[in-house]
Amino acid sequence: MTPLRKAALAAIASASLVAAGCGSGFDDNGSKTQQSSGPASLQIMIASSGDAETKAAKDAAAGWATSSGNTATVTPAQDIVQQLGQALAGSTPPDVFYVDAARFADYASVGALDAYAKGDAFLPRLNESFTYQGKLYCVPKDASTLALEINTDLWTKAGLTDADYPTSWDQLTAVARKLKASGVTPLAIGDTRDRIGAFLVQAGGWWVSADGKQATADTPPNEQALTYLQSLLRDGLAKYPKALDAGWAGEAFGKGKAAMTIEGNWIKGALSSDFPTVKYVVKELPAGPKGKGTLSFTQCWGIAAKSKFKEQAAAFVTAMTTADQQMAFAKGFGVMPSRTDAQATYQQQYPDDAAFIAGAQYAQGPVNAPKMDSVLADLDAALQGLATGDPKAILQRFDKNAKTALGG
Partner 1 sequence: MAGGIRGNERSAGWLFVAPALLLLGLFLVLPILMALWVSLTRWNGQGSPFTAGVPFAGLDNYTGLIADDGLSRTNFMTSIRNNGYYVLFVVPLQTALALGLALIVNKRRGFFRTAFYFPSVTSSVAISVVFLFMFANGGAINAILSALGVHGPQWFSDPRGVFHLLLGDSAPAALADHSVLGLSWWDWISGPSVAMCAIIALVVWTTSGTFMLMFLAALQNLPRQLDEAGMIDGANRWQRFRRITLPQLRPTMFLVVTLGLIGSWQVFDQIYVMSQGNPAKTTLTPAYLSYRTAFRDFDYGSGAAISFVLFLIIVLLTLGQRWATRERNP
Partner 2 sequence: MRTLISRFLGFSILIFVALVFLYPFVIQIANSFKTEADAAANPLSAIAHPFTTDAMERIFAGTAFPTWLANSVLVTVVVTIGRVLIDSMAGYALSRLRFRGRRVLFAAVLGVMAVPPVVLLIPKFLVLNQLGMYNSYPALIVPLLADAAGIFIMKQFFDSVPVSVEEAARIDGAGVFRTFWSVVLPTARPALITLTILAFQGSWNEFPHTLVAVQDPALFTLPRGLADLVSGSLGAGTQYPLKLGAALLATIPVAIIFVVFQRYFVRDANEGAERG
Binding site for partner 2 (CB under 8 A): 18-19, 21, 23-26, 47-53, 75-79, 83, 86-87, 89-92, 245-248, 250-251, 266, 270, 274
* Percent composition of the chain: helix, strand, coil (DSSP 3-state, to 5): 50, 20, 30
Q: How far is CA 129 from CA 100, 166, 300, in A?
A: 9, 31, 9
Which residue from 108, 136, 101, 104 is spatially nearest to 122, judged by alpha carbons?
136
Counting contacts by CB under 8 A, is residue 22 touching partner 1?
Answer: no
Q: Tell me the window of 82-90, 127-135, 169-177, 277-285 that interacts with partner 1 (CB under 8 A).
A: 82-90
CB closer to partner 2, 248 vs 346: 248
Which of 17, 30, 39, 349 forms a contact with partner 1 (CB under 8 A)? Answer: 30
Helix (H) or strand (E) holding 45: strand 41-46
Q: Which does 75 bind (CB under 5 to 8 A by kind): partner 1, partner 2, none?
A: partner 2
Instruction: Give the separation between CA 17 and CA 38, rounded to whole angstroms.
Output: 37
Instruction: Give the separation between CA 129 and CA 298, rounded to whole angstroms.
Output: 8
Which of 92, 214, 322, 404 forms a contact with partner 1 (CB under 8 A)? Answer: 404
Counting contacts by CB under 8 A, is residue 382 touching partner 1?
Answer: yes
CB closer to partner 2, 165 vs 253: 253
**Measured from the CB of residue 227, what is the shortest distance to partner 1 in angstroms?**
16
Torsion of CA 266, 269, 270, 273, to 10 degrees: -170
Counting contacts by CB under 8 A, is residue 13 touching partner 1?
Answer: no
Instruction: Give the separation between CA 317 and CA 315, rounded to whole angstroms.
Output: 5
120-135 burial code (b ≥16 CB/10 A, e <16): eebbeebbebbbbeee
Counting contacts by CB under 8 A, is residue 89 touching partner 1?
Answer: yes
Binding mask 119-148 for partner 1 (x = CB under 8 A): ------------------------------
**Measured from the CB of residue 217, what is the shortest distance to partner 1 in angstroms?**
14
Q: Which does 38 bind (CB under 5 to 8 A by kind): partner 1, partner 2, none?
A: none
Q: Which does 105 bind (CB under 5 to 8 A by kind): partner 1, partner 2, none?
A: none
DSSP string, 135-188: EE-S-EEEEEEEEEEEEHHHHHHTT--GGG---BHHHHHHHHHHHHHTTSEEEE
Contact 230, 169 (CB under 8 A): no
In this structure, are strands 140-151 and 258-264 parallel, antiparallel, or unpaired?
antiparallel
Contact 33, 306 (CB under 8 A): yes
Counting contacts by CB under 8 A, is residue 7 touching partner 1?
Answer: yes
Q: Which does 12 bind (CB under 5 to 8 A by kind): partner 2, partner 1, none?
A: partner 1
CB closer to partner 1, 58 vs 103: 103
Q: In the complex, which residues of this chain contact partner 1 (CB under 8 A)?
A: 2-5, 7-9, 11-12, 15-16, 19, 21, 24, 26-28, 30, 81-82, 85-86, 88-89, 106, 110-112, 191, 240, 242-245, 373-375, 377-378, 381-382, 384-385, 388, 401, 404-405
